[in-house]
């Protein structure tokens, strides 16, 4: 790699990760002043562990993320199967667009429209509405990830199974599902992190007693940034990184991800 | 033998494109039929119609008196060996072969798998994953898996296409031996004429969705019905002319090279334009003053090129009308040094076809 390439790569990485690095470094600050370095300490992680409301918010986030990811994976996989395995049907292109469009929809609009829907239905805002909203958010991404895997799958495998006497259900259970399983896990993890990260939609559809971690952090920041927030954010960044790496490992593994690419 | 698998006026269209056009064919039990044709001629679509992966636009498929036309693939007593082999990558060789045996008791299925592994000489490979096998081994696993359910007809899509040449010839022999042992009817799709001739009891030549000619290799090679079949199966000289006279199977054709007597079982009527197909190896060559037997056709010409190819010499002879006739003459006849030669051939060696 030439010097110029190294330099531009370095600049790019600094631009992307310097803010996060600052956050991580200051989470280990002994001083209670956010911008003044007072030596290395893990005291804020201790404070964090004993911060009841923050832990409660984290638990809400994990619960919502798990349930939402589950629902999104289920529905998104069904959508991907319908779009990739039902042959050509009228409006297939339109359906594909409709499944993918919410991914590029501004979150404010998604949040607002969901809020209007829930109010219209008379649904009390709380955990349930959060799960529904985040499942909606993740569904499109799941359909993309699983759909890519289905596209890469040699269609003659399913034909061979049918040829050997397997009905449609057995074909799916014994051939299609095992072969797309890694992409299901990856899609689940992706939907999970999307839910964990979301602040905008959650602000619209959440109610009392269902405060997620990002909501809690945001409200604390408005009262002033303290090193405890840095510590919580560092843990969140670490967790999300691990999950995303796991997801990309699962989709990138040989013979498991997009075989064609 | 009574027909076993019959296709009746089968048609398949994809939008405006006709893949299989009004095709009728009967395959007797125990026969190897090769469907031969260039890519896009509809031979693979025909196979997929028989397997049930495509629904015909018109016509019927019958097997042993049972109408298969509306049946789903998993309900048809036929099996297919895929061109890509389509082995399940997440299952071992044994479990691949056992996939179609789920109606059997476990012990019976295991015994059947053992038997099939022996049949394809892969006894020690049962626990291996397909990805750890060589191309030839995968091909045999695919064959064993397709045979597991004892299909009445086995469909093979380019079964040897993915193998290299040496292995292909060996596998052709094995495939025939297995078929003879089991007596299962094989319908094999291939684009390779020499493979079709090596494997088939009968060859069906397809062109643009139609079955052009069905018959034994010799018939197709010696008595092609048109230029397409003649050219597909090997080198051929095509001499245009007009039918003048017919006496039984013997036809006199007026050509730019003079009158030629040829065999014409399917010749066009008198006065119609025709083409004579003449294989290069059916020609004999002599010196220009040599005398040919009375009933033989003779063609005189100038040697344009001669290439020594070991077992024969390939001559390109310029005729008096400017056309070129190719003749493959056994080496060692002393004709190689001549500049002018006389070619001769028996009427039986040439076939008259419609132009």
Predicted local distance difference test score (pLDDT) of residue A30: 86
DSSP secondary structure string for all residues of B161-214: TTS-HHHHHHHHHHHHHHHHHH--EEEEEES-HHHHHHH-SEEEEEETTEEEEE
Contact B20, B209 (CB under 8 A): yes
Report, in this order, helix, strand and coil percent for chain A, each rounded to 5. 75, 0, 25
Predicted local distance difference test score (pLDDT) of residue B93: 96
Q: Which of A156, A158, A165, A169 to mutate to test the interface with B (most CBs of B within 10 A)?
A: A165
Predicted local distance difference test score (pLDDT) of residue A258: 37
Which pair of structure tokens corresponds to residue A117? 């829907």
Q: In whole angstroms, what is the distance from residue B306 CA to residue A190 CA?
A: 71
Q: In whole angstroms, what is the distance from residue A170 CA to residue B326 CA?
A: 59
CA distance A175 to chain B (A): 7
Helices (H) and strands (E) counted in chain A, each on its own, are 12, 0
DSSP secondary structure string for all residues of B36-76: E--TTSSHHHHHHHHHTSS--SEEEEEETTEE-TT--GGGS
**pLDDT tens figures, B115-172:** 999 999 999 999 999 999 999 999 999 999 999 999 999 999 999 887 888 888 888 9
pLDDT at B2 over 80: no
Predicted local distance difference test score (pLDDT) of residue B217: 94
Question: What is the side-by-side order of every strand in the sheet holding B324-330?
Answer: B284-287, B340-345, B297-308, B312-318, B324-330
Q: CA-based Rg of chain B, rounded to a whole angstrom?
A: 25
Find, in chain A, the residue whose alpha carbon is nearest to that of B145. Answer: A164
- Asked if A161's CB is within 8 angstroms of B88's CB, the reply is yes
Query: Cβ contacts of residue B267 below 8 Å, gap of 6+?
Result: B243, B246, B251, B274, B352, B353, B354
This complex has an ipTM of: 0.85
Predicted local distance difference test score (pLDDT) of residue B286: 85
Predicted local distance difference test score (pLDDT) of residue B292: 63
Mean pLDDT throughout A198-203?
Answer: 93
SS3 B56: coil
Query: Cβ contacts of residue B273 below 8 Å, gap of 6+?
Result: B240, B241, B242, B243, B354, B355
Mean pLDDT throughout B76-85?
Answer: 94
CA distance B142 to chain A (A): 10
Q: Would you place residue B248 in the very low, low, confident or very high pLDDT band (cuts 50, 70, 90)?
A: confident
SS3 B73: helix
**pLDDT tens figures, A221-248:** 888 777 888 888 888 888 888 888 888 8
Predicted local distance difference test score (pLDDT) of residue A176: 94
Q: Look over chain B and give the mean of its residue pLDDT values, rounded to a whole number.
A: 91
- Residue bearing the bigger pLDDT, A143 or B1: A143
Q: Look over chain A and give the mean of its residue pLDDT values, rounded to a whole number.
A: 87
If you ran DSSP here, which 8-state letter would residue B66 be given?
E
Q: In whole angstroms, what is the distance from residue B255 CA to residue B274 CA?
A: 9
User: Nearest CA to B325 among B258, B267, B268?
Assistant: B258
Look up tokens 């449609």; give the residue. A168
Look up tokens 């009841």; give the residue. A52
Pairs across A and B, CB distance < 8 A: 58
Predicted local distance difference test score (pLDDT) of residue B158: 92
Question: What is the side-by-side order of every strand in the sheet holding B66-67?
Answer: B17-28, B3-14, B58-63, B66-67
Residues 116-155 of A with CB under 8 A from B: 154
Residues of B in contact with A159 (CB under 8 A): 51, 53, 73, 80, 82, 86
Q: In whole angstroms, what is the distance from residue A78 CA to residue A71 CA?
A: 11
Q: Would you place residue A253 in the very low, low, confident or very high pLDDT band (cuts 50, 70, 90)?
A: low
Contact A229, A221 (CB under 8 A): yes
List b or e across B77-98, with b for residues whose CB sees 16 or more CB atoms inside 10 angstroms.
Answer: ebbbbbbbbbbbbbbbbbbbbb
The reply to whether B15 touches chain A by the CB within 8 Å rule is no
**pLDDT tens figures, A4-50:** 889 999 999 888 888 888 888 888 888 877 778 888 888 888 888 88
Using a pLDDT cut of 90, give the percent of chain B over it: 72
Q: Would you place residue A156 in the very low, low, confident or very high pLDDT band (cuts 50, 70, 90)?
A: very high
Predicted local distance difference test score (pLDDT) of residue A255: 44
Predicted local distance difference test score (pLDDT) of residue A254: 44
Alpha carbon B54 to its chain centroid, in Å, reads 23
Residues of A in contact with B84 (CB under 8 A): 154, 156
Contact B211, B25 (CB under 8 A): yes
**pLDDT tens figures, A165-189:** 999 999 999 999 999 999 999 999 9
Q: Would you place residue B218 in the very low, low, confident or very high pLDDT band (cuts 50, 70, 90)?
A: very high
């Amino acid at each position: 790699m030439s010097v110029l390439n190294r330099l531009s790569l370095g600049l790019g990485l600094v631009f992307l990760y310097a803010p996060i690095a600052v956050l991580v470094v200051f989470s280990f600050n002994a001083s209670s002043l956010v911008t003044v370095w007072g030596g290395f300490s893990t005291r804020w992680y201790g404070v964090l562990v004993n911060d009841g409301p923050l832990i409660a918010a984290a638990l809400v986030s994990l619960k919502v993320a798990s349930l939402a990811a589950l629902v999104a994976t289920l529905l998104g996989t069904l959508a991907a199967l319908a779009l990739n395995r039902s042959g050509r049907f009228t409006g297939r292109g339109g359906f594909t667009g409709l499944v993918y469009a919410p991914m590029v929809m501004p979150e404010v609009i998604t949040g607002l429209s969901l809020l209007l829907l829930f109010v219209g239905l008379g649904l009390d805002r709380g955990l349930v509405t959060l799960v529904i909203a985040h499942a909606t958010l993740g569904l499109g991404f799941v359909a993309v990830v699983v759909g890519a895997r289905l596209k890469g799958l040699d269609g003659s495998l399913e034909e061979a199974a049918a040829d050997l006497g397997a009905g449609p259900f057995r074909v799916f259970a014994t051939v299609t599902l095992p072969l797309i399983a890694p992409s299901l896990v990856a899609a689940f993890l992706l939907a999970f992190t999307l839910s964990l990260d979301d602040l905008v939609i959650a602000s619209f559809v959440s109610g009392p007693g269902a405060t997620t971690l990002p909501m809690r952090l945001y409200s604390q920041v408005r009262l002033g940034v303290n090193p405890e927030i840095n510590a919580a954010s560092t843990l969140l960044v670490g967790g999300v990184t691990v999950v995303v790496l796991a997801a990309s490992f699962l989709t990138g593994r040989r013979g498991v991800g997009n075989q064609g690419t | 033998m009574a027909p076993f698998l019959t296709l009746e006026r089968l048609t398949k269209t994809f939008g405006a494109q006709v893949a299989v056009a009004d095709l009728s064919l009967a395959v007797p039990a125990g026969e190897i039929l090769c469907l031969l044709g260039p890519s896009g001629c509809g031979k693979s679509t025909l196979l997929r119609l028989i397997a049930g992966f495509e629904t015909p636009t018109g016509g019927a498929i019958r097997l042993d008196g049972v109408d298969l036309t509306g049946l789903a693939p998993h309900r048809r007593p036929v099996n297919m060996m895929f061109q890509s082999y389509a082995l399940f990558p997440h299952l071992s060789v044994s479990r691949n072969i056992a996939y179609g045996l789920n109606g059997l008791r476990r012990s019976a299925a295991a015994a059947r798998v053992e038997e099939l592994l022996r049949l394809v000489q892969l006894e020690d490979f049962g626990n291996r994953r397909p990805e750890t096998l060589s191309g030839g081994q995968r091909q045999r696993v695919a064959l064993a898996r397709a045979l597991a359910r004892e299909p009445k007809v086995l469909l093979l899509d380019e079964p040897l296409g993915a193998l290299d040449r040496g292995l292909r010839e060996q596998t052709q022999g094995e495939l025939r031996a297995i078929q003879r042992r089991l007596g299962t009817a094989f319908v094999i799709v291939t684009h390779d004429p020499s493979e079709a001739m090596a494997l088939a009891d009968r060859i069906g030549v397809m062109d643009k969705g139609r079955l052009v000619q069905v018959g034994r290799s010799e018939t197709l090679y010696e008595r092609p019905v048109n230029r397409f079949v003649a050219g597909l199966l090997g080198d051929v000289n095509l001499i245009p002319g007009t039918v003048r006279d017919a006496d039984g199977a013997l036809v006199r054709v007026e050509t730019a090279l003079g009158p030629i007597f040829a065999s014409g079982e399917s010749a066009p009527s008198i006065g119609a334009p025709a083409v004579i197909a003449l294989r290069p190896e059916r020609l004999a060559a002599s010196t220009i003053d040599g005398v040919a037997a009375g009933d033989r056709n003779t063609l005189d010409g100038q040697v344009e090129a001669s290439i020594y190819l070991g077992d024969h010499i390939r001559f390109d002879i310029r005729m008096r009308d400017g056309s070129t006739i190719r003749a493959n003459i056994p080496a060692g006849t002393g004709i190689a040094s001549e500049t002018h030669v006389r070619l001769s051939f028996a009427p039986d060696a040439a076939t008259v076809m419609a132009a």
